[in-house]
Amino acid sequence: MRITDRQIEHYREHGYVIVENFLEPGELARARDEIEVYIPGWLGYAANPRGAKPEGWDKPARSRRTTRFPFPGTQLNAITLHPELRRFASVMNGQQALYCEQSDLSYKCKEHPADKDQHMHVDYINHTLAYPPVDPTYWQTTYLVYYTDVTEDQAPTAVCSERHYANEIRWPPFHSPEERPSLYENEVKATVPAGSLLAYSVRTFHRGTAFKKEGARVSQFISYSPAACPWLGINGWPEQGTRPEFRDWIERAEPREREIFGFPAPGHPYWSEETLAGVGARYPEMDLSPYRDCPKEEIG
């Protein structure tokens, strides 16, 4: 297990955990190869900030619509569905079925529009329409996977343990240093080597910090929710349904992987002669036999 029991306990106690060197060297290298094709020049610039900045570095980041799962290639998609990320999210929410609500690539450098010293905040405000209770049944787990080294100078994410605000209703969701200095005095910065992971709850105060020196940071936001709660989730995957990359991914995925993105499971009453014909027409390469052959569930 790459995420140890001790790290799981740390998350339960503090609302976050840092897992250094989470990715195996091969996974990290393949992911970086894909990133180099996707956003050329950013990794090279991060490694050598004395060199030229990537082309278009000062343009606002492409919107989440265009830096979102599925990615060209296979490794960033595989990391989105990483068995350890799924296991950890599942342990946190009591072994419920999961919904992957987010997988976005994020990149920024000094003076980039996203280079900001943020105020402490909780992320639930754009991950649910309701409020995230302490009951783990409703826990959403958010991850940041880092693809470049993050030192004190390279905009580390800062996070403050839940111990400092346990039993408080997390409202308002933002606090300035003047309003709530203790959140800042007790922050821990995720300074980590490339391939590391920060997991934090949508109830945990954290913030992005600014670059102190020239440099760049490339990371991936991945979030999981319990599948049974349709009020949870930062986005809806059908919005991506017209992208050829999505068609390619969904045609080749396993039924269990498709379910994690909200696709109806084998045996669901949704499946009929009509829906099998329609889904087959839309996704000609998809093997429909699991949906055709599975007996219908009794939905009472």
- The residue ranges that bind Fe ion (CB under 5 A) are 123
Shorter beta-carbon distance to Fe ion: residue 189 or 243: 189
H helices of the chain, where?
5-14, 25-38, 42-47, 75-80, 83-92, 181-185, 244-252, 255-260, 273-282, 289-293
Shorter beta-carbon distance to Fe ion: residue 123 or 162: 123
Q: How far apart are CA 184 and CA 187, in angstroms?
A: 5
3-class SS shares of the chain: helix, strand, coil, % to 5: 30, 20, 50
* Min dist. Cβ of residue 123 to Fe ion (A): 4
Shorter beta-carbon distance to Fe ion: residue 46 or 198: 198
Tell which residue, 58, 31, 56, has the closest CA to residue 43. Answer: 31
Shorter beta-carbon distance to Fe ion: residue 34 or 123: 123
Residue nearest to Fe ion according to CB distances in the complex:
123
Letter for the amino acid at 79? Answer: I
* Min dist. Cβ of residue 172 to Fe ion (A): 14
Q: How far apart are CA 156 and CA 162, in angstroms?
A: 19
What is the CB neighbour count within 10 angstroms for residue 84? 15
* Min dist. Cβ of residue 52 to Fe ion (A): 30
* Min dist. Cβ of residue 97 to Fe ion (A): 26
136 by DSSP, 3-state: which? helix
Q: How far apart are CA 208 and CA 158, in angstroms?
A: 6
* Min dist. Cβ of residue 124 to Fe ion (A): 10
Shorter beta-carbon distance to Fe ion: residue 143 or 271: 143
Q: How far apart are CA 222 and CA 273, in angstroms?
A: 35
Contact 190, 198 (CB under 8 A): yes
Shorter beta-carbon distance to Fe ion: residue 104 or 123: 123
| Bond preceding residue 264 cis, omega within 30 of 0 | no
188 sits in which H/E element: strand 187-189
* Min dist. Cβ of residue 121 to Fe ion (A): 6
Shorter beta-carbon distance to Fe ion: residue 123 or 259: 123
* Min dist. Cβ of residue 119 to Fe ion (A): 10
